[in-house]
Structure 1
């Protein structure tokens, strides 16, 4: 009797979902990817910071040169407080990722990263990416799971991977495929597991005279903080504002009027301190670039709530499992969310590759119990790391916006110290060095720094024999 090969239904075609597509392609595991948006590489969202852990994993797909070309390296950040519309007490936070790990973190637009991920897939895998597919439900079958869509189509697989964001449809419907639970309630104890304490207004604008590519600045102050970065042709800024009260309610859809009111409230916030003053006939003076001034040149904007937290249970019944924002959500302050989602994929697909390879060698189908055990091992391997990272990101946002009195003190007098920051970065470098990679993708190490990686990329067997 011929054993049917496994097939995985991936829900969500963002950077993490596309990483799943690449990993499954390399693992030789069939899949179909369902994306609710009209296209895979559409212009949605602002820029992302790709750190060494994410870049190293994507380098195993051969994508690092394209990402380095399309993105800009992160320079040292000028941290500044705000008072009377002025930048004060600038402090450089050293960024040592290039020397520590072999590459600098890079800022890249979400659209450019998505296009690189799309172009890097072989044509056969690209044909498995299906846009305009909104999920309406999940059903368990004798051998797997069926993912139902609102357009009446359905897709059957051995299992489903939910890479569909903070308000994951897979997470919402997971319990429906767990026959042992016997309930239609959402898989997690709460349908809305994330807490929203901040909202974010972001915009992209054309690079104005006096703005230098690579400029990167943060301004910290009461109730609001900014992050600003300038690339070759455009600049992007994010403004985080603390809400009056934290909430677990579904995200609010902000209108153009809400956006305009926000800019009116915070338009005085300075973004940088090196814009040339065109009104100065001598050309020697400088003038601050404010949020309001940059808004007049905006080419793209967005206004969203920022959820944060870690879901208690990432899988159900050996048939459904979550990765990325569907399992844990970070505030964007540290740029760690997408990178942690990519490492989720590394750990999960490493385990799936072993299970399906062993089953195939034995001429059997991977059992539901085997998959359930693998899902638990995956969550156990990742849970403490993402919980720590989520907490650090949230505290970074709280410190920068001076949420409470001690946060202001910590921000100005402790984390503004290069000595303290250097000690923190040294500790973080040790954590980073222990990050896993795909253990079934052979290749040469492209990311090498003074901190050796604990988990080496498998060296090509052919070169070992030479």
Structure 2
């Protein structure tokens, strides 16, 4: 009797931003899936900010989501960098226009709750039915032919693989690492040490747009070990106060209402936009604000056996550069592309074949990891200065050189150009004749776009990046700031 192949089924843990987008992607395939979400409500209580970059819009285009999501998106028409201490302006320019010329799409931001609601409501009913809430995963079992995921309510989900999209404190990651090391997973009541490190924490929320400020402007104010942000959209504004901890930590911290109030009082005098201080901003909000740690880092191993991780379960980026969701979505795109190719040859791949796909996925996604992390970390430190060089970059190098344009074109640009697309879905928007062409295009009806760059294409070179920073420091600051910089670096060198 012929062996009947077992249907392939993915069990996804986590129905956040990336999980919901994964549901859209998988609904465009013939792959069966289920998504388990711990919380009862998919929409977060707090109104935080989410940034969307050009590669993400390419995926939305392929998924026919552009028109459905556009009503909740806000363009950024200008970016202003200021002193948080005295309100003086360092720089004012529009990187979005340059990015749009380079990549076909500009920068947009959105209100996280509204965006999640739009993502969910635009799912087909068949995909919505696959999302199960109040499913708190506590155990993952693997065997030669599949996985079994157990939830605290007694329910069990079986599948071929598990994808952990369950965030910074991923339970799937904890179970995976425990099995790989031959030990029991920590109890769900425990608080295991995070693989990430927290250098900054943030107080955040949303408010009506202050009447004195224009719409669609991102204000970022810098100071020593603290920075502020006030970004105005079409009809709403988002604020944040970023504060460096006394000492970096990997401990999980839950902040109280008292902690939030103390932070507001501590930094109430700082500017957050022209004519606006932190205390003014908090006078406009209704008390619905949060305080969280901003973890940074990544884990070394992204998979084991029939378990694979993505997004915040494998990396955490500080949010100043707004790359978190965009990077997590790219993980899923690459992973699903590779799984689809494997399933074209067998509908029931063995563990060895799956691990080979997972290893290939990790290797491909890790190529740009150092650059993405560097961009996120540098942007955070450019505003809440941890060193004299951070201050020099923000106050003297960037305003008096074309470093912003250089980094947009030569550092960020190549990362965008190499971003993946879903290789089986048509891209409707025209991505030809761009200043920085994309390296990857979908293969539809056996044809690939001729507008593709080599996979090895890159403008970026780490040593060149360091070199340009040094060159900019020497040429851009000029003699008028030479004495000031020497004094900051070494007070005795005067």
Question: What TM-score results when the alignment is normalised by the length of structure 2?
Answer: 0.84
- What is aligned with 1:339? 326
Partner of 1:183: 183
Structure 2: give runs of 5+ residues left out of the alignment.
Answer: 187-191, 450-494
Q: 2:343: which partner in 1?
A: 356
Shift of 1:44: 4.3
Q: Is the 8 A contact 1:54 1:339 kept in 2?
A: yes
1:255 aligns with 2:251: no
Whole-angstrom CA distance in 1 between matches of 2:79 and 2:346: 50
Per-residue CA shift, 1:30-61, capped at 9, x if unaligned?
Answer: 11101111122344451100000112112211
1:440 paired residue among 418, 424, 430: 424
Number of equivalent positions: 438
Tell me if structure 2 keeps the 8 A contact 1:203–1:301: yes
Deviates more, 1:162-171 or 1:410-419: 410-419
- 1:405 alignment partner in structure 2: 388
1:92 corresponds to: 93
Is contact 1:59-1:446 (8 Å) kept?
no
Number of the residue aligned with 1:76: 78
| 1:154/1:446 CA distance change after superposition, 3 Å | farther
In the alignment, which residue of structure 2 is the partner of 1:457? 442
Partner of 1:10: 12
Map 1:125-164 onto structure 2 (within 5 A).
Answer: 125-164=127-166
CA distance in 2, matches of 1:309, 1:198: 13
How far is the alpha carbon of 1:418 from its aligned partner? 5.0
Find the counterpart in structure 1 of residue 119 from structure 2: 117
Within 5 Å, give how 1:146-295 maps onto structure 2: 146-178=148-180, 181-184=181-184, 191-250=193-252, 252-273=253-274, 288-295=275-282
Give the superposition deviation at 1:295. Answer: 0.7
**8 Å contact from structure 2 (residues 208, 236) kept in 1:** yes
Paired residue secondary structure (2:421): coil
Q: Secondary structure of the equivalent of 2:349?
A: coil
Counterpart CA distance in 1 for 2:269 and 2:203 is: 14
What SS class does the counterpart of residue 378 from structure 1 fall into?
A: helix
| Deviation larger for 122-131 or 224-233 | 224-233
How far is the alpha carbon of 1:355 from its aligned partner? Answer: 1.1
Aligned to 2:464: none
CA contact (8 A) 1:325 1:341 kept: yes
* Contact 1:72–1:231 (CA under 8 A) maintained in structure 2: yes
Q: d(CA) in 2 for partners of 1:447 and 1:126?
A: 31
Contact 1:76 1:94 in 2 (8 A): yes
Aligned to 2:465: none
Hey, what does 1:304 align to over in structure 2?
292
150-159 or 441-450: which moved more?
441-450
Runs of 4+ aligned residues of structure 1 deviating over 6 Å after TM superposition are none
Contact 2:9 2:33 in 1 (8 A): yes
Q: In 2, are the aligned partners of 1:172 and 1:191 still within 8 Å (CA)?
A: no
Q: Distance in 1 between matches of 2:445 and 2:280?
A: 53
Question: d(CA) in 2 for partners of 1:207 and 1:88?
Answer: 20
Match of 1:25 among 24, 27, 37: 27
Per the TM alignment, residue 66 of structure 1 is displaced from its structure 2 partner at its CA by 2.6
- Aligned-partner Cα distance in 2 for 1:386–1:417: 29
> Residues of 1 paired with 2:153 and 2:29: CA distance?
30
Q: What secondary structure sits across from 1:296 in the alignment?
A: helix
In 2, Cα distance between equivalents of 1:44 and 1:148: 29
In the alignment, what sits opposite 2:415?
A: 431
| CA RMSD after TM alignment | 2.1
- What per-residue deviation string (whole Å, max 9, x for no partner) do you get for residues 332-363 of structure 1? 01001110001001110101111122103xxx
Change (3 A) 1:66 1:460: farther
Task: Report SS of the residue matched to 1:86.
Answer: coil
- The answer to whether residue 378 in structure 2 is matched with residue 395 in structure 1 is yes
Secondary structure of 2:158's aligned partner: strand
Q: Provide the residue aligned with 2:369 in structure 1.
A: 386
Indicate the residue corresponding to 1:101 in structure 2: 103
Tell me the CA shift for residue 148 of structure 1. Answer: 1.1
CA distance in 1, matches of 2:65, 2:431: 13
Change (3 A) 1:444 1:169: same
**For the residues of structure 1 that align with 2:67 and 2:102, how far apart are their CA atoms?**
19
How far apart are the structure 2 equivalents of 1:203 and 1:458? 42
**Is this contact kept in 2: 1:214–1:230, CA < 8 A?**
yes
* Aligned residues of 1:225 and 1:240 also touching (Cα < 8 A): yes
The separation in 2 between residues aligned to 1:269 and 1:350, in whole angstroms, is 47
C-alpha spacing 1:244/1:381, structure 2 compared with 1 (3 Å): same
3-state DSSP of counterpart to 1:425: helix
* Distance in 1 separating the partners of 2:134 and 2:20: 16
Deviation at 1:326, TM superposition (A): 0.5
CA distance in 2, matches of 1:93, 1:195: 32
- In the superposition, the TM-score normalised over structure 1's length comes to 0.89
